[in-house]
Structure 1
Amino acid sequence: MSTGEPSATSTRRTVIAVFLAGVSVFLVLYETQGLLPAIREAYGIDTPTASLTVSATNVAMAVFLIPFSALAPRIGHARQIAGGVVLAALLALIMPFMPSPELLIAVRFLQGVTIASVPATAMAYLSLRLPPGALPGAIGVYIAGNTIGGLSSRLLTGLAAEILGWHGGLAFTAVISLVCGLIVVWLLRHDLFTTSKSVAARDSVTPTDEAPATQQVAAKHRDPANAEPVQPPRRAMIPLRSGLWRIYLTGFLCMIVFGGSFTMLGTRLQQDPWRLSEGAVALFFLIYLVGTVVTTYYGRLATKLSRTSLTLIGMVTALAGAGLTLIDSLTWIIIGMSLLTGGFFLGHTGASAAASAKRTGVDSTRSAAIYLTVYYLGTSLGAWLSAVLFTDFAWSGVVVMCMTSLAAVLILTLTGAPIGFRKRN
Structure 2
Amino acid sequence: MPSAHFIKKGDKQYWPTIAALFFGSFVTFALLYCFQPLIPVFSSEYKISPSIASLSISMATGSLAIAMLLTPSLSDHFGRKLIMCSSILGSTILIGIIAFIDNFYVILPIRIVEGIFLAGYPAIAMTYIQEEFDPGITGIVMGIFISGNSVGGLLGRLLVSTLTDLFSWHVAIGTLSILSFFISIWFYKNLPVSQNFQPCKLSLYDVAQRFTINLKVGKLVVIYMIGFLIMGSFVALYNYAEYPLLAPPYSLSQTLVGFIFIIYLVGTFSSTFMSRLASLHGELKVLDMGLMCMLLGIIITILLPLWLKILGIALFTFGFFGSHSIASSMVVKYSPVGKAQSSALYLLFYYAGSSFIGTWGGNFLIWKGWSGIVILLSGSICLALVLSNTLLVKNYHSSVRKLHV
1:337 aligns with 2:340: no
User: What is the CA distance between 1:364 and its match in structure 2?
Assistant: 4.2
Aligned to 1:243: 219
- 1:222 is aligned to none
User: For the structure 1 residues 21 and 396, does the alpha-carbon distance in structure 2 shift closer, same or farther, using more than 3 Å as the test?
Assistant: same
Q: Once the two structures are superposed, what CA deviation does each residue of 1:182-227 show, in whole Å capped at 9, x if it has no partner? A: 3345557x97xxxxxxx999561689xxxxxxxxxxxxxxxxxxxx
1:351 counterpart = 2:332: no
Offset of residue 414 of structure 1: 4.3
Are the aligned partners of 2:233 and 2:357 in contact in 1 as well (CA < 8 Å)? yes
Equivalent runs, 1:25-64 vs 2, <5 Å:
25-64=28-67
Partner of 1:369: 344
Q: Structure 1 residue 118: deviation in Å?
A: 2.0
The answer to whether the Cα contact below 8 Å between 2:77 and 2:201 also exists between their aligned partners in 1 is: no
Q: Deviations over 1:213-250 (max 9, x none)?
A: xxxxxxxxxxxxxxxxxxxxxxxxxxx93333222212
- Kindly state the Cα deviation for residue 352 of structure 1 after the two structures are TM-superposed: 2.9
Q: Give the Cα separation in 2 of the matches to 1:131 and 1:344.
A: 25
1:258 aligns with 2:234: yes
Within a 5 Å distance, the mapping from 1:191-340 to structure 2 comes to 204=199, 241-302=217-278, 305-340=281-316
Distance of 2:291 and 2:256 partners within structure 1: 28
Distance 1:144 1:86, change over 3 A: same
Overall identity of the aligned pairs, in %: 26
Q: Which sections of structure 1, spanning at least 5 residues, go unmatched?
A: 192-198, 208-239
Q: Distance in 1 between matches of 2:292 and 2:13?
A: 47
Residue number in structure 2 paired with 1:99? 102
Asked if structure 1 preserves the Cα contact closer than 8 Å seen for 2:143 and 2:325, the reply is: no
> Partner of 1:113 in structure 2?
116
TM-score by length of 2: 0.81
Cα contact 1:246–1:418 (8 A) shared by 2: no
> How far 1:287 sits from its partner (Å)?
1.6
Give me the whole-angstrom Cα distance separating, in 1, the residues matched to 2:127 and 2:385. 34
Query: Which of 66, 69, 75 in structure 2 is aligned with 1:66?
Result: 69
- Quick check: 1:77–1:203 contact (8 Å CA) kept in 2? no
Write the distance in 1 (CA, Å) between the matches of 2:321 and 2:258: 21
Query: Would the aligned equivalents of 1:157 and 1:173 in 2 still touch at CA under 8 Å?
Result: yes
1:232 maps to which residue? Answer: none
Question: Does the 8 A contact of 2:76 with 2:199 survive in 1?
Answer: yes
Q: Which residue number in structure 2 is paired with residue 79 of structure 1?
A: 82
Tell me the amino acid that sits aligned with residue 72 of structure 1: S
Q: Distance in 2 between matches of 1:124 and 1:343?
A: 24
Cα distance change on mapping 1:144 and 1:398 into 2, 3 Å = closer
In the alignment, which residue of structure 2 is the partner of 1:151? 154
Q: Deviations over 1:377-402 (max 9, x none)?
A: 11122210112211232111100001
Give the deviation of 1:280 after TM superposition: 0.9
SS class of match (1:357): helix
Query: What residue ranges of structure 2 are gaps of 5+ in the alignment?
Result: 203-215
Please give the alpha-carbon distance, in whole angstroms, between the structure 2 residues aligned to 1:21 and 1:346. Answer: 19
